[in-house]
């Protein structure tokens, strides 16, 4: 490497929905860059918004001290600031007008002296990064999301914490379900992927698990609840994903964020299904939507470890000048994959997934 093209300064941003473990990655990248590689590190505030509006600041040892176990992100984030589709204004009817501001982002990054950008995010952030890469700014991706739905990585950090939180909630709801002899539905996040629900449902021994990848049959769900009740079981615990839908039916949309490139926000299917089960079976039901509690709080030990490994690997990739790659975990090994292969894709639960098969084998119903 010649002196002139030596990497001297890196930027870090966190994009999309937050998740536990983001700070652990920021800490690992910053420390590895400062200690091992004599690089300067700058934090970009609120995802790509910080490069659109020029909000960046230097990160030092003291800025990343004592953040390993802290939820959220010290840099802030945004899920509306995708430079390739950024809402710059609204028309007369209040509809958003989107523009591609990737060029501006790259110019601002260069003006700030950033030689490479570490983008910690999900499929949307990797897609946003692709536009920046095309304009010549090198990027390293780090996969985050509680949904665990990124392609080409066995796991994303944040997922383990979300599953732990959801499992804890399911365990708590089981006791009240038992006292009141109710059908209890617990709705989990995940967009169109059922990973959180499958894992938390399995961990808490849910009787019925409903995920987006398997459309449910209302009659079969009701039948399972009735059979359990008639056989003397005190209650039925249903783990349901926000993206679950009935056979031939639609997902339940909670609201639309018009300024977001990915505007649909799911939520409420558990309440709809709860009403239908109660009406059809006469059993008393209650629905609980866990919501953003799954995204908050202290990362589990497993997520802290994964985040630290991902952060370290990101700096290794920079050192090796292996740009425009996303760090990933494949078969237990730290690897990397071109960001272009990950952007705008979702990894879903497959019907033959071993955990799904194991649940079926022990009598869990998937409503099909
Ligand atoms: O992708 C993470 C996630 O928490 C999804 O599970 C959920 O559908 C969505 O983000 C919620 O987004 P918001 O924070 O914008 O409501």
pLDDT, tens digit, for every residue of 346-357? 999 999 999 999
Digit-coded pLDDT (tens) for 199-217: 999 999 999 999 999 999 9
In a domain, 346, yes or no: no
In a domain, 360, yes or no: no
In a domain, 350, yes or no: no
Neighbour-count burial of 293, counting CB atoms closer than 10 A to its CB (0-12 exposed, 13-18 middle, 19+ buried): middle
Residue 291 tokens read as: 């919501």
Looking at the structure, do residues 48 and 129 belong to the same domain, yes or no? yes
- Which atom in ligand 1 lies closest to the alpha carbon of residue 189? 6
Looking at the structure, do residues 134 and 39 belong to the same domain, yes or no? yes
Looking at the structure, do residues 322 and 286 belong to the same domain, yes or no? no
Q: Which residues contact 357 (CB under 8 A, 6 or more apart)?
A: none
Q: Give 79's pLDDT tier (boundaries 50, 70, 90).
A: confident
Residue of 188, 191, 270, 345 to mutate, ligand 1, most atoms within 8 A of C-beta: 191
Q: Is pLDDT of 1 > 50? A: no
CB 244 within 8 A of CB 194: yes
Looking at the structure, do residues 7 and 153 belong to the same domain, yes or no? yes
Q: Can you give the residue range of the structural domain that contains 232?
A: 162-295
Q: Tokens 């990101």 map to which residue?
A: 314
What does pLDDT average to over the chain?
96
Ligand 1: residue whose CA is nearest its atom 10: 17
**Structure confidence at residue 343 (pLDDT):** 85
Residue 337 tokens read as: 């994959």
Residue of 265, 289, 297 to mutate, ligand 1, most atoms within 8 A of C-beta: 265
CB 212 within 8 A of CB 159: no
Into how many domains does the chain fold?
A: 2
86: DSSP letter: E
- What is the CA(242)–ligand 1 centre distance, in A? 10
In whole angstroms, give the CA distance from residue 305 to residue 186. 29
- Which atom in ligand 1 lies closest to the alpha carbon of residue 149? 1
In a domain, 107, yes or no: yes
**Structure confidence at residue 273 (pLDDT):** 98
Looking at the structure, do residues 225 and 196 belong to the same domain, yes or no? yes
**Structure confidence at residue 2 (pLDDT):** 46
What distance, in Å, lies between the first and last C-alpha atoms of the chain?
58
Between CA 296 and CA 297, with CA 204 as vertex, the angle to 5 degrees is 10
Looking at the structure, do residues 28 and 150 belong to the same domain, yes or no? yes
Looking at the structure, do residues 278 and 335 belong to the same domain, yes or no? no
Looking at the structure, do residues 7 and 147 belong to the same domain, yes or no? yes
Whether ligand 1 lies within 6 angstroms of the CB of 313 is answered as: no
Average pLDDT, integer, range 55-74: 97
CATH value at residue 315: 3.40.50.450
In a domain, 303, yes or no: yes
Looking at the structure, do residues 75 and 181 belong to the same domain, yes or no? no
**Structure confidence at residue 4 (pLDDT):** 55
- Which atom in ligand 1 lies closest to the alpha carbon of residue 190? 6
Looking at the structure, do residues 329 and 258 belong to the same domain, yes or no? no
Whether ligand 1 lies within 6 angstroms of the CB of 347 is answered as: no
In whole angstroms, give the CA distance from residue 167 to residue 363. 19
CATH value at residue 241: 3.40.50.460
Looking at the structure, do residues 19 and 142 belong to the same domain, yes or no? yes
Q: Can you spell out the DSSP letters for 189-255? A: --TT--HHHHHHHHHHT-SEEE-TTS-B-HHHHHHHHHHHHHTT---EEEEEETT--BTT--PPEEE
The one catalytic residue among 18, 115, 123, 147: 147
Looking at the structure, do residues 237 and 283 belong to the same domain, yes or no? yes
Whether ligand 1 lies within 6 angstroms of the CB of 266 is answered as: yes
Whether ligand 1 lies within 6 angstroms of the CB of 196 is answered as: no
Whether ligand 1 lies within 6 angstroms of the CB of 212 is answered as: no
Residue 358 tokens read as: 């194991």
In a domain, 363, yes or no: no
Ligand 1: residue whose CA is nearest its atom 11: 265
Helix (H) or strand (E) holding 94: none
If DSSP codes are grouped into helix, strand and coil, which group holds residue 343? Answer: coil
In a domain, 84, yes or no: yes
**Which of 261, 295, 329 is the last residue in one of the domains?**
295
Question: To the nearest whole percent, how much of the chain has pLDDT over 70?
Answer: 99
Digit-coded pLDDT (tens) for 259-284: 888 899 999 999 999 999 999 999 99
In a domain, 356, yes or no: no
Per the annotation, the verdict on 147 as an active-site residue is yes
């Amino acid at each position: 490497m010649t002196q002139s093209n030596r990497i001297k300064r890196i930027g870090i941003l966190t994009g999309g929905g937050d998740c536990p473990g983001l700070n652990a990655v920021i800490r690992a990248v910053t420390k590895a860059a400062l200690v091992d590689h004599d690089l300067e590190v700058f934090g970009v505030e609120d995802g790509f918004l910080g490069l659109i509006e020029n909000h960046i600041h230097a990160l030092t040892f003291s800025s990343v001290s004592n953040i390993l176990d802290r939820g959220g992100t010290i840099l802030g984030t945004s899920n509306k600031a995708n430079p390739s589709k950024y809402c710059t204004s609204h028309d007369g009817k209040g509809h958003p007008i989107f523009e591609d501001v990737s060029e501006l982002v790259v110019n601002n990054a260069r003006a700030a002296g950033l030689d490479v950008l570490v983008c910690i995010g999900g499929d949307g952030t990797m897609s946003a990064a692709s536009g920046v890469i095309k304009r010549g700014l090198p990027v390293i991706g780090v996969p985050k999301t509680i949904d665990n739905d990124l392609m080409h990585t066995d796991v994303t950090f944040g997922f383990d914490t979300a599953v732990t939180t959801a499992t804890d909630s399911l365990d708590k709801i089981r006791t009240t379900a038992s006292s009141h002899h109710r059908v209890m539905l617990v709705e989990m996040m995940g967009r169109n992927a059922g990973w959180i629900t499958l894992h938390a449902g399995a961990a808490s021994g849910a009787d019925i698990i409903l995920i987006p990848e398997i459309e449910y049959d209302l009659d079969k769900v009701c039948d399972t609840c009735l059979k359990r009740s008639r056989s003397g079981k005190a209650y039925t615990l249903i783990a349901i994903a926000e993206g679950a839908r009935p056979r031939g039916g639609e997902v339940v949309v909670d609201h639309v964020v018009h300024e977001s490139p990915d505007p649909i926000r799911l939520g409420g299917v558990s309440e709809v299904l709860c009403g239908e089960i109660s009406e059809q079976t006469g059993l008393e039901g209650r629905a609980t939507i866990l919501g953003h509690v799954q995204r908050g709080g202290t990362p589990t030990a497993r997520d802290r470890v994964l985040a630290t490994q991902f952060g370290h690997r990101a700096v290794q990739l920079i050192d090796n000048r292996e740009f425009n790659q996303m760090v990933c975990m494949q078969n237990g090994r730290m690897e990397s994959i071109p960001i272009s292969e990950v952007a705008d894709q979702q990894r879903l639960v497959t019907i033959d997934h071993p955990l799904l098969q194991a649940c079926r084998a022990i009598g869990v119903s998937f409503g099909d």
